[in-house]
Amino acid sequence: MSLFQPGRQAFRTHPHAAGEVCPLCEQPIAQDIARKIEARRQEQDRAAREKAQAEAAAAAEQRILAARMEAKQAAEVAMAARLSEFQARLAEAEKAKASAEERVLATRAEATKAAEAAMAVRLTEFQLRVAEAEKAKASMQEQMAALKEAQEATVAARLQQLQAALQQEKEGAVLAEKAKVLKLQSELADMQRKLEGKSANELGEGSEVDLFEQLRAAFDGDRIQRVPKGVNGADVIHEVIHNGKVCGKIVYDAKNRNAWQNEFVVKLRADKIAHAADHAVLSSNKFPKDKAQVHYQDGVIVAAPQRVAAIAQLLRDQVVRMHELRVSKEGREQKSMEIYAFITSEQCKQLLDQVEAQAMRMLDLDTKEQEAHRRLWDQRKKLITSVQKARSDLVFEIDRIIGTAGNGPEETEAA
């Protein structure tokens, strides 16, 4: 609080020490007295400020209390008004509820009548739909039968195409298996010949027929002839046809004996010269000592029956290429010796073994594919049976709703 505030008593004459100036009388005062006076003045100012703040806070609190009382009174008045309004609305709601119940009862009666009429109409429509469903059922059965027939025809056609595509590949594998059978048959024939005393000519007859059929199946476009029995010459003459022209000739002999004879090669070599053939192949179940499967001797290739078709294919390709290139006779003989060396080489034997192995694998794949088709057909049959069962259940449920169902779906199917 300032010393110059209004209403303060006038200052009286008072002594001062030297060194300071009194703020009231501007007379010099002592320094310690001046500090005391200033501290007292600041304390008075702080006390005045605190008093003023306390008075302002008390006044504000009084105003808040008054506002709260006014708000409480206003809320009580509003609550009383809302309670009166709610009671009035509740009475109106009771009246509306009673009126609504009356309308609901009337509406229910009308709805019952309308529902009965609609039910009659829907029942008529349902009966019509049932009749249509019966017609659709018959049509579906016809379509399924046609679809099944078409699928079976498609599968059959696909199988036929696959069989046709794999026919040539199968033949090599079949020939390999056939060679095994022929080996067993050869051993059996040897035993039978010993038992029955059959001649060599009689034993060779079957092997000649097999060789002829094998070559004719492998080279459909060529001219393959079997020399009649009793006529001098090779057993089979193979004329290679390319672009409608004869490119060369291969002669074959088939021997099914119980022992090897060098005369087989001598005789076929003479036939090769007599027929002016490019190559000569001897199909034999017996070989010289330490030889097997494929052997070259004196201008003649000696091969096991199961290898004849593959070797004939190699020789035929060589004949066609030499013809297209118009190679001289000396050149042909040189190329023939080269191809003979290759045919009797270990590499060629390994390749032929691979061909036979792959052919067997293809046969296995064909067998597995047929088994897979059979499994697919079994699954399709089960699905068709399930569809028929579901359709039977559907018809039974419709009959049950209509009221014409007499038996369960199982009994209906049995009937």
| Structure confidence by residue, pLDDT tens digits, 343-402 | 888 888 888 777 777 777 777 787 888 888 888 888 888 888 887 787 787 777 777 777
Residue 132: pLDDT band by 50, 70, 90 thresholds? Answer: confident
Nearest 10 degrees: CA dihedral of 180, 181, 183, 188? 150
Q: What pLDDT was estimated at residue 280?
A: 93
Please report, rounded to a whole number, the percentage of residues in the chain having pLDDT higher than 70.
77
Q: How, if at all, do strands 236-242 and 245-255 pair?
A: antiparallel
pLDDT at 176 over 60: no
Range from 16-20, 57-61, 237-241, 251-255 carrying the lowest mean pLDDT: 16-20
- Cα 382 → chain centroid: 22
Q: What pLDDT was estimated at residue 347?
A: 84
**CA gyration radius for the chain?**
61
Residue 281: pLDDT band by 50, 70, 90 thresholds? Answer: very high
pLDDT at 403 over 70: no
**Rounded average pLDDT over 242-259:** 88
Q: Report the SS3 class of residue 163.
A: helix
N-terminal to C-terminal alpha carbon distance within the chain: 121
- How is the beta sheet containing 236-242 ordered, strand by strand? 223-226, 236-242, 245-255, 279-284, 300-303, 294-297
Q: What pLDDT was estimated at residue 137?
A: 80
Residue 181: pLDDT band by 50, 70, 90 thresholds? Answer: low
Report the chain's mean pLDDT, rounded to a whole number: 78
Looking at per-residue confidence, does 343 or 199 come out higher?
343
Residue 18: pLDDT band by 50, 70, 90 thresholds? Answer: very low
**Rounded average pLDDT over 54-69:** 89
How far apart CA 403 and CA 415 sit, in angstroms, is 18
Q: What pLDDT was estimated at residue 412?
A: 45
pLDDT at 16 over 60: no
Long-range contacts of 267-274 (CB under 8 A, 24+ apart): 268/234, 268/300, 269/298, 269/299, 269/300, 271/233, 271/234, 272/234, 272/299, 272/300, 274/233
Q: Report the SS3 class of residue 229.
A: coil
**Rounded average pLDDT over 28-44:** 80
How far apart CA 14 and CA 30 sit, in angstroms, is 12
Domain 166-344, second-level architecture? 3-Layer(aba) Sandwich (3.40)
Q: What pLDDT was estimated at residue 194?
A: 59
| 305 within 8 A of 287, measured Cβ to Cβ | no
How far apart CA 192 and CA 131 sit, in angstroms, is 76
Per DSSP, the residues of 164-227 read HHTHHHHHHHHHHHHHHHHHHHHHHHHHHHHHH---HHHHHHHHHHHHHHHHHHH-TTSEEEEP
Looking at per-residue confidence, does 385 or 241 come out higher?
241
| 262 within 8 A of 282, measured Cβ to Cβ | no
How far apart CA 216 and CA 225 sit, in angstroms, is 9
Q: What pLDDT was estimated at residue 144?
A: 76
Maximum separation of any 2 CA atoms in the chain, in Å: 181
Closest C-alpha to 307, from 283, 288, 326, 287? 283
Number of helices followed by number of strands (H, E) in the chain: 8, 8
pLDDT at 404 over 70: no
Q: Report the SS3 class of residue 137.
A: helix
How is residue 158 written in tokens?
């696909």
How far apart CA 271 and CA 252 sit, in angstroms, is 9
**Rounded average pLDDT over 62-75:** 89
How is residue 118 written in tokens?
């609609």
**Rounded average pLDDT over 116-141:** 84
| 302 within 8 A of 282, measured Cβ to Cβ | yes
Q: What pLDDT was estimated at residue 178?
A: 58
- Cα 143 → chain centroid: 28
Nearest 10 degrees: CA dihedral of 158, 164, 168, 170? 50
Report pLDDT digits (tens) over 97-124.
Answer: 888 888 888 888 888 888 888 888 888 8
pLDDT at 71 over 80: yes
Residue 237: pLDDT band by 50, 70, 90 thresholds? Answer: very high
Q: What pLDDT was estimated at residue 238?
A: 93
pTM of the model: 0.41
